[in-house]
């Protein structure tokens, strides 16, 4: 009897895996088309200086609404894009569109915006090619490296570690800023961080989410802010939704923030309105 049940469980498990596989295949097929037809939109989320209440830059975030699949969040299609190599053409389209857009917006602004783009681990497999591609695209789109920022997660640093670090070093020397995204969820040690060519730590939104209710979260946030200060790095808090979170961060001298309290990611047109208001 027990054996039978165990057997059934395996069947259910197999079905789940097969369903997962076929979902991925479907996403892959649709994604390939969507990239070709340029159906994946670039949205922009403001990064704020919460003291001056001014926008300092934007982060490019992808939005895909597929005719068959409906809205597919990046957390679902980015991993598929990484596994299949579709991340390369997808990234290139995103870069060209976003860089051109920022340059146009900056032409009309007194304080230029900085554009942040998320990079995947997979892209650092051929890091020399990546570095030359970034330079090529910035040049073609007339965007100064000073107004461009790379966001990578801690785990990206650990995969192909040496290749990745060399690439970041070259990008930083070129004038580009490097931010570590979702910081605090990975495994970076203080000693390791000290040696890295980086400019900024972005505190993961899970720590910001319940700053007040969860004592350990506020301790982690404080520790990251202090760590950034002692390493002379900038620090940005992501996922700031509530006024009390903003107040807490300001009190602890974290001035740069991103989150729904300021703005959700906006379409190009909505971003334009936001900038003009």
What's the full length of the chain, in residues? Answer: 277
Those residues with Cβ within 8 angstroms of residue 52's Cβ, 6 or more apart along the chain or in another chain: none
Check residue 175 for interaction with ligand C2E (CB under 6 A). Answer: no
The pattern of x and - marking residues 176 through 205 that bind Mg ion according to CB under 5 A reads: -----xx-----------------------
Q: Which is nearer to ligand C2E, 119 or 191 (CB)?
A: 119
Token reading at 146: 């000073």
Check residue 260 for interaction with ligand C2E (CB under 6 A). Answer: yes
User: What is the number of other CB atoms lying within 10 angstroms of the CB of residue 77?
Assistant: 24
Cβ 200 vs Cβ 236: under 8 Å = yes
Distance CA 159, CA 271 (A): 35
142 binds, among ligand C2E, Mg ion, none (CB under 5 to 8 A by kind): none
Stretch that binds ligand C2E, among 49-57, 115-123, 131-139, 243-251 (CB under 6 A): 115-123
| Structure-token match 């070259």, residue found | 170
Note the helical H segments in the chain: 2-36, 74-84, 87-107, 127-140, 154-158, 161-173, 190-195, 205-209, 215-230, 243-251, 268-276
Select the residue interacting with ligand C2E from 50, 62, 178, 211 (CB under 6 A): 62
The pattern of x and - marking residues 70 through 109 that bind ligand C2E according to CB under 6 A reads: ---xxx--x---------------x---------------
Q: Which is nearer to ligand C2E, 94 or 106 (CB)?
A: 94
| Structure-token match 């059934």, residue found | 8
- At its nearest, how many Å lie between ligand C2E and the CB of residue 145? 19
Helix (H) or strand (E) holding 149: strand 148-153
Cβ 207 vs Cβ 174: under 8 Å = no
Check residue 241 for interaction with ligand C2E (CB under 6 A). Answer: yes
Q: Which is nearer to Mg ion, 101 or 118 (CB)?
A: 118
What is the contact surface with ligand C2E in residues (CB under 6 A)?
A: 45, 60-62, 73-75, 78, 94, 118-120, 151, 181-182, 205, 238-241, 258-260, 265
Residues that bind Mg ion (CB under 5 A): 118, 151, 181-182, 238
């Amino acid at each position: 009897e027990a054996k039978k049940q165990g057997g059934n469980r395996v069947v259910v498990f197999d079905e789940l895996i097969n369903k997962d596989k076929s979902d991925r295949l479907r996403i892959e097929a649709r994604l390939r088309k969507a990239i070709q037809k340029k159906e994946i939109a670039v949205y922009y989320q403001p990064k704020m200086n919460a003291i001056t209440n001014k926008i300092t830059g934007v982060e490019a975030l992808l939005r895909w609404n597929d005719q068959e699949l409906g809205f597919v969040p990046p957390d679902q299609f980015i991993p598929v894009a990484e596994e299949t190599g579709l991340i390369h053409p997808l990234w290139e389209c995103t870069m060209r569109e976003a860089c051109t857009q920022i340059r146009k917006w900056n032409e009309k602004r007194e304080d230029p915006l900085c554009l942040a783009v998320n990079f995947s681990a997979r892209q650092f497999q051929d890091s020399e090619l990546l570095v030359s591609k970034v330079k090529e695209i910035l040049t073609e789109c007339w965007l100064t490296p000073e107004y461009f920022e790379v966001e990578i997660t801690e785990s990206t640093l650990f995969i192909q570690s040496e290749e990745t670090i060399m690439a970041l070093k070259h990008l930083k020397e070129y004038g580009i800023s490097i931010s570590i995204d979702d910081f605090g969820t990975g495994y970076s040690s203080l000693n390791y961080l000290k040696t890295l060519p980086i400019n900024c730590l972005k505190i993961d939104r899970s720590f910001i989410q319940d700053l007040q209710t969860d004592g350990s979260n506020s301790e982690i946030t404080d520790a990251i802010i202090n760590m950034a200060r002692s390493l002379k790095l900038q620090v940005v808090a992501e996922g700031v939704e509530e006024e009390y979170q903003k107040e807490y961060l300001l009190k602890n001298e974290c001035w740069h923030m991103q989150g729904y309290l300021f703005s959700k990611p906006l379409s190009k047109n909505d971003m334009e309105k936001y900038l003009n208001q």
